[in-house]
């Protein structure tokens, strides 16, 4: 099946036209989306008037879902499906979260460059984020191409980082913003997990740098040395030429491949305007250390 694809950036990201996701996708459409993802890593599908059930049907047709959103105060879940991650600034009754709400503080971590669920031992494959309500300005999402970032590294840096293993945890990323209000149970739930720093994408064969603000150390390295290297690599990988900025329209569905991209939310006036986005996430096949290098 041939998709009508328009690139959105010189390196990655494309819009797919002529697709209607109100009906579950055929095996041919799912395969065509996978092929577009292997090439572009971020795929935008505009104007999809789908509800939670339709978003679930679409996502499950692409692969097995992550079933445990890693959030604080998970018992206050606003949405019908447990697997659906609530990327909003809303209370369970639909009102805007209070300025000092712990969930708001925690969600601010999405403004740091990251790869979804890199803090889980088997991390995320695709994320699929659907825009239900968007604010009048701000609230864009930026994506960075970690394959292009790898390709642009000098050879000596490539061989220096090639075999490194990092520990990732939500506790590390939140600490960067000064958030440390985790309960003992959450500390246990969010204990660090190891991930390769350099990965090979099974669909494209391309290598990429597996960066994320969840990284807290490199195995065998003193932490300050590890974190200064990670900071340098992150600056390199998020230079403007590697970044696409998505300005949302209502009913956009954006699919990104967490194995080879990072993303971050941009600010908006979240005490005044509602932003309601809902995400489903596919599980990767195995921990990165169990995958081919």
Binding stretches for ligand OGA (CB under 6 A): 87, 110, 116, 127, 129, 141, 263, 265, 277, 279
Question: Which residue, 50 or 229, has its beta carbon nearer to ligand OGA?
Answer: 50
What is residue 278's three-state secondary structure? Answer: strand
Q: Which does 129 bind (CB under 5 to 8 A by kind): ligand OGA, Mn ion, none?
A: ligand OGA
Q: Whose Cβ is closer to ligand OGA: residue 110's or residue 122's?
A: 110
Q: List for the chain the helix, strand, coil content (%; round to 5).
A: 30, 25, 45
Q: Least distance from C-beta 110 to ligand OGA, angstroms?
A: 4
Q: Reading across the β-sheet that carries 85-88, which strands appear in turn?
A: 4-7, 14-17, 42-45, 253-257, 124-133, 276-283, 85-88
For Mn ion, the closer of residues 153 and 262 by Cβ is: 262
Closest approach, Cβ 184 to Mn ion, in A, equals 25
State the pairing for strand pair 193-196/165-168. Answer: antiparallel
Using CB under 5 A, list all residues that contact Mn ion: 116
Q: Is 220 exposed, middle or buried (0-12, 13-18, 19+ CB in 10 A)?
A: exposed
Nearest approach in angstroms of CB 263 to Mn ion is: 6
279 binds, among ligand OGA, Mn ion, none (CB under 5 to 8 A by kind): ligand OGA
SS (H, E, C) 36-67: HHHHHCEEEECCCCCCHHHHHHHHHHHCCECC
Which does residue 86 bind out of Mn ion, ligand OGA, none, counting CB within 5 to 8 angstroms by kind? none
**Residue 107 vs 153, nearer CB to Mn ion:** 107
Task: Fill in the DSSP letter of residue 90.
Answer: B
Closer of 242 and 248 to ligand OGA (Cβ): 248
In the list ligand OGA, Mn ion, none, the entry touching 107 (Cβ below 5 to 8 angstroms by class) is none
- Nearest one of 236, 79, 53, 247 to 148, comparing CA atoms: 236
Give the residue with the Cβ less far from Mn ion, 115 or 288. 115
How near is the Cβ of 172 to Mn ion at its closest, in Å? 15
Residue 87 interacts with which of Mn ion, ligand OGA, none, CB < 5 to 8 Å by class: ligand OGA
Torsion of CA 278, 284, 287, 293, to 10 degrees: -130
Rounded to a whole number of angstroms, the minimum distance from the CB of residue 242 to Mn ion is: 17
Distance (Å, whole) CA 285 – CA 197: 17
Partner whose binding site includes residue 141, from Mn ion, ligand OGA, none (CB under 5 to 8 Å by kind): ligand OGA
- Residue number with the shortest CB distance to ligand OGA? 265
Quote the least distance from Cβ 253 to ligand OGA, whole Å: 12
Q: Which does 174 bind (CB under 5 to 8 A by kind): ligand OGA, Mn ion, none?
A: none
- The Cα 187–Cα 170 span in angstroms is 9
Nearer to ligand OGA, 114 or 147 (CB): 114
């Amino acid at each position: 099946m041939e998709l009508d694809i328009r690139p959105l950036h010189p390196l990655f990201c494309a819009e797919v036209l002529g697709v209607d996701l109100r009906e579950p996708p055929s095996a041919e459409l799912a395969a065509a989306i996978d092929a577009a993802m292997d090439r572009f890593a971020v795929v935008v599908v505009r104007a999809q008037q789908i509800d939670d059930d339709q978003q679930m049907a679409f996502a499950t047709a692409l692969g097995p879902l992550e079933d445990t959103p890693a959030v604080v105060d998970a018992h206050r879940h606003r949405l019908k499906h447990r697997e659906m991650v609530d990327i909003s600034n809303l209370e369970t009754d639909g009102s805007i979260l209070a300025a000092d709400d712990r969930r708001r503080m925690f969600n601010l971590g999405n403004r740091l460059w990251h790869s979804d669920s890199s803090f889980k031992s088997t991390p995320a494959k695709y994320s699929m984020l659907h825009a239900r309500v968007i604010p009048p300005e701000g609230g864009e999402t930026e994506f960075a191409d970690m394959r292009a970032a790898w390709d642009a590294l000098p050879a000596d840096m490539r061989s220096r980082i090639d075999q490194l293993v990092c520990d990732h945890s939500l506790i590390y990323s939140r600490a960067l913003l000064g958030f440390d209000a985790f309960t003992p149970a959450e500390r246990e739930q969010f204990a660090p997990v190891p991930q390769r720093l350099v990965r090979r994408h099974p669909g494209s064969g391309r290598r990429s740098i597996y960066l994320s603000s969840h990284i807290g150390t490199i195995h065998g390295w003193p932490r300050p040395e590890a974190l200064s290297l990670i900071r340098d690599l992150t600056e390199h990988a998020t230079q403007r030429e590697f970044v696409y900025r998505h300005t949302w329209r209502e009913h956009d569905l954006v699919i990104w491949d967490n194995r080879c991209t990072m993303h971050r939310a941009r600010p908006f006036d979240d005490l005044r305007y509602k932003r309601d986005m809902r995400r489903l996430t596919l599980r990767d096949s195995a921990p990165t250390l169990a995958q081919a290098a």
